[in-house]
Amino acid sequence: MPKILKQKSIFKSKLFDIKQADIEFNGITMKYEIISGTGSGAVMVVPFIENDIIFIKEYAAAIDDYMITFPKGKIDKGETIEEAANRELQEEVGYKSKEIKLIKKLYLAPGYIDHMTYVMVAKELSVSSLRGDEPEELEVIRVHRDDVINFLDKNEIIDSRVHAALNIIENHE
Amino acid sequence: MPKILKQKSIFKSKLFDIKQADIEFNGITMKYEIISGTGSGAVMVVPFIENDIIFIKEYAAAIDDYMITFPKGKIDKGETIEEAANRELQEEVGYKSKEIKLIKKLYLAPGYIDHMTYVMVAKELSVSSLRGDEPEELEVIRVHRDDVINFLDKNEIIDSRVHAALNIIENHE
């Protein structure tokens, strides 16, 4: 196992903490830059209504364009992942779930970012809204399970975690 | 479409450029923090030998543990994505490919990071090695296509782009 010789924060903002680390592998020392989140990770919720899956279309600031994604957001202090998932679901698509469960912890790109996303599946939905911090109403798109491949092919910009979540779900449901 | 009112870099390092942006949505202005990469993105290569898929096990600095991933790396200046993919393949697993093609551009988490990964499939492999900058030899793991789900279930830490790449490939091969 490599050994972290030293690690220090070189930048901190509201969302990110950039660290520099010296890591030793059998006598060779390498320098790394690492992005740490400042919170407890995020949830991403895949909502099912019978055989339909609910997607959202949301503005993605880093690429200044709209992306296809699932309801998701940071876990607030003191929240369980189930509570965070049910809150995001109500804020972003206007449903709550009576059957919400963790499918897998997703490590975004662990070589350089420690961001963790908890992929949840939500079923048994009923109409319920909460006011979130979204600056505009999100477009909610309901797609039959059999049409998902076509739907994703027709959209150029898709959050990579949508593909990852679908891969995990397809292999476990 | 939202409008970027102003954007400025608040931190720059070798790998990252953190930006702060004011973005306006119908009269509401929101503050965003965005991570930009400093290069041209990365390639991730899914190598096939007949019905086997080649994975690697690699140290992941951001979580100080080993992860399952595919050969991948930054695109060097002046390289095409095919050249970058074939170089990484030779550096990380000791093969070169005569049939390497782009399957999809993957947007990692476009809400806050502009990182782009080009997912490539490599077939028609032959033995060929290049010396890379890896600090230790990578473990190369060859898995039959039918056993991939089991293999991934048995491993706790998996680069999310592995799941994303497999989802895209399964739907297009």
How much is the pTM? 0.96
pLDDT of B40 above 90: no
User: Which residue ranges form the domains of chain A, and what is each CATH number?
Assistant: 3-37 (no CATH), 42-170 (3.90.79.10)
- 3-state DSSP assignment of residue A83: helix
Read off the DSSP letter of residue A136.
S
Q: Write out pLDDT tens, residues B70-127.
A: 999 999 999 999 999 999 999 999 999 999 999 999 999 999 999 999 999 999 999 9
Distance from CA of A161 to the nearest CA of B (A): 7
Give the confidence band of A173 by pLDDT, cuts at 50, 70, 90: low
- Per the DSSP assignment, residues forming a β-bridge with A96 are A126
Give the confidence band of A95 by pLDDT, cuts at 50, 70, 90: very high
Tell me what the pLDDT averaged over chain B comes to: 95
Q: Write out pLDDT tens, residues B133-151.
A: 888 999 999 999 999 999 9
Q: What is the ipTM of this complex?
A: 0.96
Q: Of B9, B71, B48, which Cα lies nearest the Cα of B148?
A: B48
- Please tell me the predicted confidence (pLDDT) of residue A133: 84
A90 and A96 Cβ atoms separated by less than 8 Å = yes
- Please tell me the predicted confidence (pLDDT) of residue A132: 87
Residue B157 with chain A: CB contacts under 8 Å: 107, 110
End-to-end CA distance of chain A: 35
Distance from CA of A126 to the nearest CA of B (A): 27
Q: What is the mean predicted confidence (pLDDT) over A142-170? A: 97
Please name the residue of chain B whose CA is at the shortest distance from the CA of residue A4: B64
- Per the DSSP assignment, residues forming a β-bridge with B24 are B3, B29
Task: State how beta strands A139-144 and A3-12 pair.
Answer: unpaired
Tell me what the pLDDT averaged over chain A comes to: 95
Nearest to B167 among A62, A112, A163 (CB): A163
- Please tell me the predicted confidence (pLDDT) of residue B173: 65
Distance from CA of B125 to the nearest CA of A (A): 26
SS3 string of B71-108? CEEECCCCCCHHHHHHHHHHHHCCEEEEEEEEEEEEEE
CB contact under 8 A, A168 and B163: yes
For residue A69, give both structure tokens.
């994604």
Q: What is the CA radius of gyration of chain B?
A: 18
B145 and B51 Cβ atoms separated by less than 8 Å = yes
Taking the C-alpha atoms of residue A171 and residue A103, their distance in angstroms, rounded to an integer, is 11
**Within 10 Å of residue B132's Cβ, how many Cβ atoms?**
14
